C-alpha cells in the first residue's frame, strides 16, 4: 500500500469528514447517541495523584484542574522532548512511577513489541466511542488494545517572514539555509524527525534502513551544521526562540508553531511540500503503573467531547475527537486552519508516518545522529 492510500485509510477521511461537519458541511452522525455516558463508571480506589509523562505544552491547565475538581485526583506532569528520551527512561530501570505516557505512533508499536505497555480496559473508557474511527485500528495498534488517540498533527517549519528573502515552502530551502542567517536556524533534537527531513531532501524515505542513505543524510546535516551552526532544540524551545527572535526559522510541531504565531504574527508555519511527517500521539499505560484504574479514568475524561475541545482550544493541537468537532466545540479559527487540520487526503504522499524500525535500524539512526550532534 502506498503512503497516499495508507494515510487515507488510517485517518484522513474520517478526520476530514468530522472537520467538514464542524465547519458547516454535511453532518456526521455522532459515534454514539447523545445519551452516551460522558463520565467514567463508578471506579473504586482511585489514587490521589496521577503521574503523567508527556510532551511539553501538551495539556491544558484548565483540563487538569477540572479533573482534580471532579475526581479528587491531582495530575502531576513531567515532560520530555522526544520519543527516544521517554523510552530511554523506561529502558534504564523500568517504570519510575508513571501512570500515563503519550508516545507517538511508531513508538507505540515499539513499546508494544518490547512488552512495555499494559492493555487498556476499555470497559472503563466509554468515551472512546467519541474518537474518530479513522484514528482507531491504526498500523501501530491494529486491535485497539494499548492506545487511545490524543492529538495528531504535522512536523513542519516556522519562520519569521520579515527576515527571509523569499517564502519557504520546502525542506530543500531549509537545507540551503543562507550563510547570512548563521546561528538563526533550529532543527529538532529528535533522531527520527531530523534524520527523516534530511533523507527526504535527498529523495529517500524517512523510514529507510539503507545504511548508505542514512549516512548520506548524516553527512548533509553535518555539512549544514558546520556551515550555519543550527541549534538542536525540542519543539517548545523552538517556539520560545522564534518568538524571542533568537531563531529566524525552526523545524517545529504544529501546536508550538501556532502558539508562536499567536505571539508574533510575523511567524509563518508551513508544511513543506517535499514530504513532511504526520503523526498521532497516544494515551498509553506503561507496565508497572501505580494505579491503572486511575489512568483509565483520566483517559476517559480526556475523551469527553467538552474536555477534548477545551484541551484542543487551549494548546492548539488537532483533536481526534469527532464529537467535539461535530458539536462545533472547537474554535472555528482553529478548525478551519489548514496548519492545524491539514487536508491529509489532498496532500497524499506529501505526508509520511515515521515507522517502527528494527533494533539494527535504531542503532544505525542513533549512531548517525550522534555524529550530527557532535559536529
Quote the pLDDT of residue 281: 96
Q: Is the pLDDT of residue 247 over 70?
A: yes
Q: What is the DSSP string of 256-282?
A: HHHHHHHH-TTEEEE--SS-EEEEEEE
Question: For residue 68, which phi and psi values (nearest 5 degrees)?
Answer: -65, -40
- Per-residue pLDDT band for 34 (boundaries 50, 70, 90) equals very low
pLDDT digits (tens, 9 = 90+) for 278-308: 999 999 999 999 999 999 999 999 999 999 9
Q: Are 308 and 319 in contact (CB under 8 A)?
A: yes
Least confident of 31-45, 158-172, 175-189, 202-216: 31-45
Q: What is the per-residue burial (b if ≥16 Cβ within 10 Å, else e) of 226-246? A: eebebbbbbbbbbbbbbbeeb
Q: Is the pLDDT of residue 209 over 50?
A: yes
Quote the pLDDT of residue 356: 84
d(CA 337, CA 346): 15
Number of residues in the chain: 375
Question: What cell does 282 get?
Answer: 497516544
pLDDT digits (tens, 9 = 90+) for 35-63: 344 444 434 689 999 999 999 888 999 99
Q: Are 62 and 310 in contact (CB under 8 A)?
A: yes
Q: Is the pLDDT of residue 119 over 50?
A: yes
Instruction: For residue 2, count CB atoms less than 10 angstroms from its CB and return exposed for 0-12, middle for 13-18, buried for 19 or more.
Output: exposed
Crossing angle for the helix pair 305-315 and 292-302, to the nearest 10 degrees:
80
d(CA 191, CA 188): 8
d(CA 216, CA 199): 8
Q: Is the pLDDT of residue 13 over 80?
A: no
pLDDT digits (tens, 9 = 90+) for 158-175: 999 999 999 999 999 999
Q: Is the pLDDT of residue 30 over 50?
A: no
d(CA 141, CA 125): 17
Calculate mean pLDDT across residues 79-106. Answer: 94
| Region class of 293: left (phi > 0), else alpha (psi between -120 and 50), else beta | alpha
Domains detected in the chain: 3-152+280-345 (3.40.190.10), 153-278+352-374 (3.40.190.10)
Q: Is the pLDDT of residue 343 over 90?
A: no
Calculate mean pLDDT across residues 56-78. Answer: 94
Residue-averaged pLDDT of the chain: 88
pLDDT digits (tens, 9 = 90+) for 347-363: 988 999 999 888 899 99
Host H or E run for residue 253: strand 249-253
- The neighbour count for residue 87, using CB atoms within 10 Å, is 19
Q: Is the pLDDT of residue 15 over 70?
A: no
Residue with cell 445519551: 35
Quote the pLDDT of residue 44: 60
Q: Is the pLDDT of residue 20 over 50?
A: no
Quote the pLDDT of residue 232: 98
Host H or E run for residue 164: none
Calculate mean pLDDT across residues 241-269. Answer: 95
Amino acid at each position: 500500500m502506498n503512503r497516499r492510500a495508507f494515510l487515507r485509510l488510517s485517518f484522513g477521511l474520517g478526520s476530514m469528514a468530522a472537520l467538514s461537519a464542524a465547519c458547516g458541511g454535511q453532518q456526521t452522525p455522532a459515534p454514539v447517541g447523545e445519551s452516551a455516558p460522558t463520565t467514567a463508571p463508578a471506579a473504586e480506589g482511585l489514587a490521589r495523584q496521577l503521574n503523567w509523562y508527556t510532551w511539553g505544552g501538551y495539556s491544558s491547565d484548565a483540563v487538569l484542574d477540572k479533573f482534580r475538581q471532579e475526581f479528587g485526583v491531582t495530575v502531576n506532569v513531567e515532560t520530555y522532548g522526544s520519543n527516544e528520551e521517554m523510552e530511554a527512561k523506561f529502558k534504564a530501570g523500568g517504570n519510575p512511577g508513571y501512570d500515563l505516557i503519550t508516545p507517538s505512533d511508531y513508538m507505540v508499536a515499539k513499546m508494544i513489541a518490547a512488552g512495555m505497555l499494559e492493555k487498556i480496559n476499555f470497559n472503563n473508557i466509554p468515551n472512546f466511542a467519541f474518537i474518530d474511527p479513522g484514528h482507531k485500528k491504526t498500523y501501530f495498534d491494529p486491535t485497539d488494545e494499548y492506545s487511545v488517540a490524543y492529538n495528531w498533527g504535522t512536523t513542519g517549519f516556522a519562520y519569521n517572514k520579515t527576515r527571509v528573502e523569499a517564502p519557504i515552502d520546502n525542506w530543500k530551502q531549509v537545507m540551503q539555509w543562507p550563510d547570512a542567517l548563521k546561528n538563526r536556524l533550529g532543527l529538532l533534537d529528535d533522531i527520527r524527525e531530523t534524520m527523516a527531513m534530511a533523507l527526504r531532501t535527498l529523495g529517500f524515505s524517512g523510514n529507510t534502513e539503507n545504511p548508505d542513505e542514512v549516512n548520506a543524510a548524516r553527512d548533509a546535516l553535518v555539512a549544514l551544521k558546520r556551515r550555519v551552526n543550527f541549534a538542536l532544540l525540542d519543539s517548545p524551545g523552538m517556539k520560545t526562540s522564534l518568538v524571542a527572535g533568537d531563531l529566524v526559522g525552526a523545524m517545529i510541531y504544529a501546536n508550538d508553531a501556532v502558539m508562536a504565531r499567536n505571539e508574533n504574527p510575523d511567524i509563518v508555519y508551513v508544511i513543506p511540500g517535499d514530504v513532511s511527517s504526520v503523526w498521532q500521539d497516544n494515551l498509553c499505560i506503561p507496565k508497572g503503573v501505580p494505579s491503572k484504574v486511575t489512568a483509565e479514568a483520566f483517559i476517559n475524561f480526556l475523551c469527553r467531547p467538552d474536555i477534548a475541545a477545551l484541551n484542543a482550544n487551549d494548546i492548539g493541537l488537532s483533536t481526534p475527537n469527532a464529537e467535539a468537532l461535530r458539536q462545533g466545540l472547537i474554535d472555528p479559527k482553529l478548525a478551519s486552519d489548514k496548519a492545524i487540520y491539514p487536508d491529509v487526503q489532498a496532500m497524499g504522499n506529501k505526508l509520511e508516518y515515521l515507522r517502527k524500525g528494527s533494533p539494527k535500524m535504531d542503532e544505525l539512526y542513533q549512531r548517525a545522529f550522534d555524529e550530527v550532534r557532535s559536529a
